[in-house]
Chain A
Amino acid sequence: MFPLLVVLSVLVLWAGLRLEEAEEMLTEFALLAVMVPTMVDMGGNLGAMLSSRLSTRFHLGTTSLDPRDRVLWANVTAILALAATIFTALAVGTFLLGQVIGAAIGLGELLVIALVSGMSVAIIAVGFSFATTYVSYRLGIDPDDTTIPIVTNVVDVFGMVIFLSTAAVVLDV
């Protein structure tokens, strides 16, 4: 357990470095900081959900990653729809909090930032979940033990980096 934790921490450190680099942007647009924890977590949450569903289906022998498998498609579209819902809610929630604490970014800009980065992360989460579940299944490792934390952390890093770059482009920093 502990060695894996150390490796994952070093991986996520990269996200932290990018965050510290973006300090000026976060000071200028304080409201962005409100979005940071969700952007760090949500991609990983979606990836973990899909991975555990996929690994259960692998264990039960009910899937072989056949693109004609309709339940796979239901899973993938559900994850993307959930991402669209949650990241829209994130933008609206952040906008409302911004009204309260008096740090305003336009709702339109928040929606673009949240949805562009959120949906990119969701797609990466889907891709990573499939890849790691498949590889760990082939290698005979139980996906429940190791791959889910790996998917979560890798996707978290992407979430942070994509979010900061999108915000920089949208806000023209």
Chain B
Amino acid sequence: MGVRSDFWEIYRESLPVLLVALSGGLFAGLVLEGLGESVAEYPGLLVMVPVFLATRGNVYGALGGRIASGLHQGLIDPRFRRDERLFNAVLASFVNGIGISILIGVITWTALAILPGWTPASLVVLVAIMFVAGTLTAVVMIVGLLALIFAGFRLGYDPDNLVGPIVTTLGDIFGMLFLLFSVWLVGVIL
């Protein structure tokens, strides 16, 4: 095979996936733009956005990878039912997803409190925003990721090729939506 045909094969295989990720990214961008006014109200909120989005990929990408390997090896059935292996993988990513969200709030607040020239919003506010957004995202990401991987697997798609784009797209869209919701909720309650 020549370089040219290899090139086109990789390009054609990957482009649809990246275009889906791009639409998710643009939608998330619109939500971020809508977050505009709260940004001035809660200093530190913008700092948390890239970290929050990046950890979605880390936590649920790992879950997706585990589920994909399990399906390939026949250790996990492609349906929702009580299964210890599935339950453990889900529980681990749920705990990781919420734990890291809370930690992002703490780390951001600490960094801004230490660094000269920054005054963060209160620790409680930042942590509460991250906790609510992180928990809601965890539920939707886990259910959505499993449902899409299972459906794709039953239709004959390689789950390894599905995990990356599903995680990025769902993570961007729901991560930002729930962040917006959580900022509103915290504004109302605190």
Contacts and interface: CB of A to CB of B under 8 A. Distances in A.
Contact of B25 (A30, A41, A81): A41
A70 B58 CA distance: 32
Interface string B91-118: 0100010011001100110010001000
A149 B25 CA distance: 19
A82 to B, nearest CB: 6
Interface of B: 2-4, 6-7, 10-11, 14-15, 18-19, 21-26, 28-30, 32-33, 35-36, 39-40, 43-44, 46-51, 53-55, 57-59, 61-62, 65, 92, 96, 99-100, 103-104, 107-108, 111, 115, 164, 168, 172, 176
Interface of A: 1-2, 4-6, 8-10, 12-13, 15-17, 19-20, 23, 26-27, 30-31, 33-38, 40-42, 44-46, 48-49, 53, 70-71, 73-75, 77-79, 81-82, 85-86, 89-90, 93-94, 97, 101, 103, 144, 149, 152-153, 156-157, 160
24 contacts: A2-B96, A2-B100, A4-B58, A8-B54, A9-B103, A13-B107, A20-B43, A26-B46, A31-B33, A33-B29, A33-B33, A33-B36, A36-B49, A37-B28, A38-B29, A40-B53, A45-B168, A48-B164, A49-B164, A74-B4, A85-B15, A93-B26, A97-B26, A152-B58
A107 to B, nearest CB: 15
A41 B36 contact: no
Contact of A16 (B3, B29, B50, B168): B50
B14 A82 contact: yes
Contacts of A23: 39-40, 46
Contact of B48 (A16, A26, A75): A16
Nearest to B13: A78
B18 A86 contact: yes
Contacts, number: 183
Given A5-B96, A41-B53, A45-B164, A19 B47 contact: yes
A74 B14 contact: no
Given A42-B21, A74-B6, A81-B11, A37 B44 contact: no
Given A1-B92, A10-B107, A38-B26, 20 more contacts: A12-B51, A12-B55, A13-B47, A15-B50, A16-B48, A16-B49, A16-B108, A35-B29, A37-B28, A41-B25, A44-B54, A74-B7, A74-B10, A78-B10, A81-B11, A89-B22, A93-B26, A94-B29, A101-B30, A101-B33
Contact of A93 (B2, B7, B22): B22
Contacts of B28: 37-38
A56 B50 CA distance: 29
Contacts of B35: 33
A111 to B, nearest CB: 15
A130 to B, nearest CB: 16
A17 B57 contact: no
A37 B32 contact: yes
Contacts of A49: 14, 164
A46 B165 CA distance: 11
Given A12-B50, A89-B22, A90-B26, A20 B32 contact: no
Given A16-B46, A42-B18, A42-B25, A33 B59 contact: no
A47 B10 CA distance: 14
